Amino acid sequence: MRSRAWPRRLAKLALVTVIAAMSACVAVDDNTANGASPMNARSATQKTALVTFDVTAFPYSGMIPDTGQPFLDVVDGDRRGHSAPRGGTLWEDQAYRDRHVLLSIPAGFDPRRPAVIVVYFHGNNAMLQRDVVDRQQVPRQLAASGLNAVLVAPQFALDARDSSAGRFWEPNVFGRFVDEAASHLATLYGGGSAATALQSAPVIFVAYSGGYLPAAYSLSYWGGSPRLRGVILLDAGYGEQDRFADWIAARRDAFFFSAYSPSSRDGNLGIEERLTQRGISFGTSPDAALSGGSVTFLETSENISHNDFVTQAWVSDPLATALSRVGGFPRPGAARAKRR
C-alpha cells in the first residue's frame, strides 16, 4: 500500500509537469501558459499539461445513486474510505483526492475554424500520465485523427479498481466541469479567440472500460445538450445499458459508436437488444462514418486484449481511426488517420 503522502507528492509534481513523452509540449500551471501568441491563427506546437480543476469528479463525499449508501462508508480514525466493489477498502486520501485533468491541444489547432472538445473517460487502475498519455497514447491519437479538436481527460479513482463517477453522479456538475475545461484550455492555448470558441464548442465523449459509468451518468445529466455530438465506447459497455439506450433513442441527431472485445460483449448485446425493442436500427461496419443519427456496434476478434484495446483493437490506433470518421471538424494541414 502506498504511503498517505503519495497523492500530495503526485499533485506537487504533476501540477506543472511537461508530458515528456509528447514532442513539442509546453508546461503550464493553473495560471500561466507559454507558446502561441493570442493572435496566432493556429497552435504552433502540441501543448499537453496536467491542470488542477475546481470542479471535477473527486473528492466526493455524497451518496451512491440508487443505493442510499454514502460513498465514503468506512472510517478509521481520521481516514475515510470506500468499500471497493471487488472487496477491500479504497482510502480517500489515496484514491479519491486527485483534482488533476489532462488537457492537450494538437499542433495546428485553430479555434477560428469548427472545433470540438473530446472528453476521455479512462478505465480502472489508471493514472493520467502513466496510462492515458504514455501507455494509451490518447493525446497522440487525437492529433493523428486530423480533427480540429482538443482533449480533456479527468482523473477518476487514482490507480484503483473502481469505476465510480464521483461528483459526476450529481446533476449540473458535468456542465460546470466542461465550462471550466474551456477556460483552462483557452489559457493553455494562449487566450485570444480560443476562449469564445471553446465555451460553445461541440463535445464528443470517449469512454474506455470502466469509464462507462461516469460517461453514462454524464449522459443522463448533460446528454440533452445540443453541444454533445456523439459517444465512442472502446470496450466499455459493461453496464448502464438503459442509460446508453435511452440517450441514443432521445438523441437521433447524434452518433453512437461502440467497439468491443469478448470482455464487454454481453453488455453491448444488451444495448443492441434495447435498441431493437425500440425499433432503432444499427450498423456493424468498421468503416461507418460517425455522423448525426448513426449507431454502430463493432465486434472485434476473440484474440484482442482488453487491456490494450485503446491502442490495438480492430486496427492499430483505434481511437485515432474512430475519431477520423467524425466529419465536420478538419484540422487545417493535418493528415487524417489512415482509414482501414
CA-based torsion, 202, 206, 211, 213: positive or negative = positive
pLDDT exceeds 60 at position 227: yes
pTM, rounded to two decimals: 0.87
pLDDT for residue 192: 76
pLDDT exceeds 90 at position 83: yes
pLDDT exceeds 60 at position 225: yes
CB 314 within 8 A of CB 298: yes
Least confident of 78-87, 175-184, 231-240, 258-267: 78-87
52 assigned to some structural domain = yes
CB 146 within 8 A of CB 332: no
pLDDT exceeds 90 at position 175: yes
161 assigned to some structural domain = yes
301 assigned to some structural domain = yes
Sheet strands side by side (includes 89-91): 74-76, 79-83, 89-91
pLDDT for residue 100: 98
pLDDT exceeds 80 at position 25: no
More confident residue, 112 or 336: 112
Q: Which residues of 181-210 are buried (b: 16+ CB within 10 A; e: fewer)?
A: bbebbbbbbbebbbbebbeebbbbbbbbbb
The pLDDT tens digits of the residues spanning 149-173 come to 999 999 999 999 999 999 999 999 9
More confident residue, 24 or 85: 85
Contacts of 62 (CB under 8 A, 6+ apart): 70, 71, 167, 169, 170
121 assigned to some structural domain = yes
Phi and psi based region of residue 57 (left: phi greater than 0; alpha: psi -120 to 50; beta: remaining) = alpha
Q: How confident is the model at residue 233 (pLDDT cuts 50, 70, 90)?
A: very high
Mean pLDDT of all residues in 125-147: 97
pLDDT exceeds 60 at position 6: no
The range of the structural domain enclosing residue 118 comes to 6-60+98-324
pLDDT exceeds 70 at position 200: yes
The pLDDT tens digits of the residues spanning 317-340 come to 999 999 999 999 999 877 655 544
Q: How confident is the model at residue 42 (pLDDT cuts 50, 70, 90)?
A: low
229 assigned to some structural domain = yes
How many distinct structural domains can be found in the chain? 1
Contacts of 5 (CB under 8 A, 6+ apart): none
Domain with 159 in it: what CATH number? 3.40.50.1820
Q: How confident is the model at residue 30 (pLDDT cuts 50, 70, 90)?
A: very low
Percent residues over pLDDT 90 in the chain: 80
pLDDT exceeds 60 at position 242: yes
Is residue 283 helix, strand or coil? strand
Contacts of 197 (CB under 8 A, 6+ apart): 111, 112, 115
More confident residue, 140 or 33: 140
Residues 97, 333: Cα–Cα separation, whole Å: 40
Considering the chain, what is the average pLDDT of its residues?
A: 88
DSSP letter assigned to residue 326:
B
pLDDT exceeds 50 at position 15: no
The pLDDT tens digits of the residues spanning 63-76 come to 999 898 999 999 99
